[in-house]
Amino acid sequence: MKQQDVLRHVTTPLANPAYAPVVPRFTDREYLNIVYRTDPDALRAIVPEPLEIGEPLVRFEVMKMGDVSGYGPYTESGQAIPVSFEGERGEYLHAMYLDNFPATASGREISAYPKTIGSPKLFAENGALVGTLDHGSQRVATATMGYKHHRLDVREAEAQITVPTFMLKTIPGYDGSPRVFELVRTEITDVVVKEAWTGPARLQLFQHVLAPLADLPVLEVVSASHILTDLTLAPVKPVFDYLKGARS
């Protein structure tokens, strides 16, 4: 394979790429969001500077992807933390667990999503919307919400899921020291909210050493939403370089 042909590939293995070279469009992405109050000291221990914390809140999410170009259907779950950066309010993505390897690999390599493998599920059962996350055979989280109890204004629903998102982009050098270490920003674009609901909700988190969601304990459930949407993810942009200690 000639050098110019090598450069046409976006990832390895060259003969069988880990993910497709596409900009994915998400159709029928279904959210279960539960915002809860947690221990402020626990938040301060994990949110990296220069991000700033306001109220000690966490958003636990389970997202069922009805169809995604390049990846197909899959489910994802994780935690996002409300933060601000230079006066702009957004969310810091703390952890994400997926049941789809191509989506996991592309999210980590191309962007900076903190993705790893897990077994999340989202389904309706006996009048409740149920979201679960397992790590191997062990339960990590169980979320329940009253199924379509009250309509949520679509503008409020769109505002919930389109806040700017901040993540850490890390690429080690060959000696293990950091080669790239940046805070990056992205957001959701081209959003069509099809349905939006709210209602009573509960959330349980269980201790697991490799999926430590419970390190941010649930002290009080603040709000919940159930949203069905189509959307696209914008490319990430660096906003702070840790190796230079300055804005990118």
**Which residues are marked as active site?**
115
Token code pair at residue 5: 């042909």
Q: Which of 208, 202, 206, 205 has the alpha carbon at shortest distance from 220?
A: 202
Amino acid identity at 35: V
Token code pair at residue 107: 């999210």
28 within 8 A of 74, measured Cβ to Cβ: no
Element (H, E) at 242: none
Q: Which of 147, 162, 155, 202 has the alpha carbon at shortest distance from 34?
A: 202
Token code pair at residue 195: 């349905």
39 within 8 A of 58, measured Cβ to Cβ: no
Instruction: Using alpha carbons, list the distances in angstroms from residue 23 to 164, 201, 234.
Output: 19, 34, 9
Question: In whole angstroms, what is the distance from residue 95 CA to residue 164 CA?
Answer: 16
The β-bridge partners of 197 are 151, 226
